[in-house]
Amino acid sequence: MPERDLQYLTELAAQLRVDSVRAAAEAGSGHPTSSMSAADLMAVLFACHLRYDFEHPGNPANDHLIFSKGHASPLLYALLKAAGAIDDKELLTFRKRGSRLEGHPTPRLPWVDVATGSLGQGLPVGVGVAMAGRLERLPYRVWVLCGDSELAEGSIWEAAEHAGSEGLANLTAIVDVNRLGQRGPTRHGWDTGAYARRFGAFGWHTIEIDGHDPGQIDYALGDARNTRRRPTVILAKTRKGEGALEVENREGAHGKPLKEPDKAVEELGGYREARVEVHEPDEAPAPYRFEGGPMSLPAYEVGDKVATRAAFGEALAALGAARGDVVALDGEVADSTKAEAFAKEFPERFFEMYIAEQQLVAAAVGLQVRGWVPYAATFAAFLTRAYDFIRMAGVSRASIRLVGSHAGVSIGEDGPSQMGLEDLAMLRAVYGSTVLYPCDANQAAALTAEMADIDGVSYLRTTRGSTPVIYPPGERFPVGGSRVLRQSHEDRATIVAAGVTVHEALAAADELRDAGVPVGVIDLYSVKPVDIAALAEAATTTGNLITVEDHRMEGGLGDAVMDAVSELGPRVVKLAVTGLPASATPEEQLALARIDRHAIADAVKRLL
């Protein structure tokens, strides 16, 4: 590398440090030292290797850069300034109310694909973006800046396994091994060999360098670009707070502005206004998309018994035929979730993520970055494994579709470890989420198709066992709607159910009607948003609501109903799972949990 270039890169890195220090000083908080350690790495990446058109962040040929160590946001924003994407005035709005430059990066910035800040997530999401690049046959590269602390997260090794085994050569992890975590030294300190052995064992090309030497960095990034059939990890030994004596390589200097920022800026050579001309990408072919066709959802005959999970699988396959942008992923249980129906028809758009639910969800997030419409399925119970990823998908405004099968005690003999009993609570609490819970096969098919167009995180809850088909094929079930299944002017209460309990509610209503107690039944298939109007009408006409759900008492259907009608003041009785189930048949489980037809009828009688 010519002397002139080296000098420029050193200057650029110094400016990135200066601007990181300035931004945090102005904000009065932030992570300047975690930014300073990675400044040389990013300076060389931007100046020499990144291919990105900052004026057109949607250019499909653009590389993708993910700050997995999201707390190094000052560095990212300093880079955006150097690249001319933002100006110095905006840089100094860092962490202020209304600023796009949040404490941790979010996609409010058009150059940011996903929100980071919960460590160990950027790399798994980067795997998803790299999978998308392969799928759409684009030559872009995915660069992920990781911290060394976050390599302790298991999700990093799920990503390492998937990328290594799939040979995602378009993915490069750049690890800023600055030796210091938040509260002290990391487990492996500067032992880059410890990390290299681990990544190497997972099939990665590994490069260990001095992360403050532009020549070594340039070589490593070039080596990564030229490596075939394997992802590359660059393990760069750095010093946290590099360049400012007050903080350089010192403990206790994490996540706070410098005490003497002006002095540090001076040490770093003062304020600069260097620009970096990031190479625009070569013109790339149009992203490959699979062909679509007419939509032909499966149709089930009223009265037949079909599991909603089976209808989901068949509907997903139908959706795959209709839309070339739909992709599916599963956590090694596609024969149970029934995503296998899609996998058989469209193997090139199906991703077996094995039993790694965090990577399953992260891959879905990564695929949607590039406009794909992902459905990710596993047991409802095991989606709890990925809750932090689902939460962050909400923060990323990512549009992903999650499908959880084997919901509730009604799975039967397998016992509580396999029962999704917290999933409604978990998914309802996610920002911008939609939660759907069909009770029959035609409804499940319709909702599966509808999810393709839902923004944000959406969730379909399916049932293991077969349930009677009660709706004719072709009916519509809009998000936020409900269905009144029993209603009369004499109704003395209204039962609100969803999924498997709809059938119990119908049986209870029939039993009660025969006993001279007419009650209404609402199928609340849209658990979030709920049909406030229909619930309000029931609340005001009968004044008595009984909710029944195959889920824990907290945070599910019953809470959603109460929330909808709370200002109207009806009496609401919730039936839900309170104890700890063990093994039993599905029918026994419903009875033992007191959410079957008899328990519902009893509850109505007690209430009246």
Identify the CA nearest to 75 among candidates 152, 115, 17. 17
CB 263 within 8 A of CB 246: yes
CA distance 248 to 236: 16
CA distance 225 to 45: 11
CA distance 215 to 474: 64
- Which one of 150, 357, 504, 549 is the catalytic residue? 357
Q: Which is nearer to its own copies, 302 or 608 (CB)?
A: 608
Give the H/E segment covering residue 523.
strand 520-523
Q: Which amino acid type is present at position 282?
A: D
Q: For 159-181, give one letter per residue: b (16+ CB within 10 A) or e.
A: bbbbbbebebbbbbbbbbbbbbb
Told to judge if 357 belongs to the known catalytic residues of this protein, a careful annotator would answer: yes
Cβ atoms < 10 Å from Cβ of 229: 9
Q: Which is nearer to its own copies, 94 or 300 (CB)?
A: 94
Q: Which is nearer to its own copies, 141 or 338 (CB)?
A: 338
E strands present in 392-489: 400-405, 434-436, 457-461, 466-468, 483-486
Pairing mode of beta strands 171-177, 142-147: parallel
Cα-atom radius of gyration of the chain, to the nearest Å?
27
The encoded tokens of residue 131 equal 């999978």
Residue-by-residue DSSP string for 57-87: TT-TT--EEEESSGGGHHHHHHHHHHTTSS-
Minimum Å gap between C-beta 32 and its own copies is: 14
- The CA-based diameter of the chain, rounded to the nearest angstrom, is 94
Identify the CA nearest to 233 among candidates 154, 149, 148, 155. 148
Cβ atoms < 10 Å from Cβ of 579: 10
Active site residues: 357
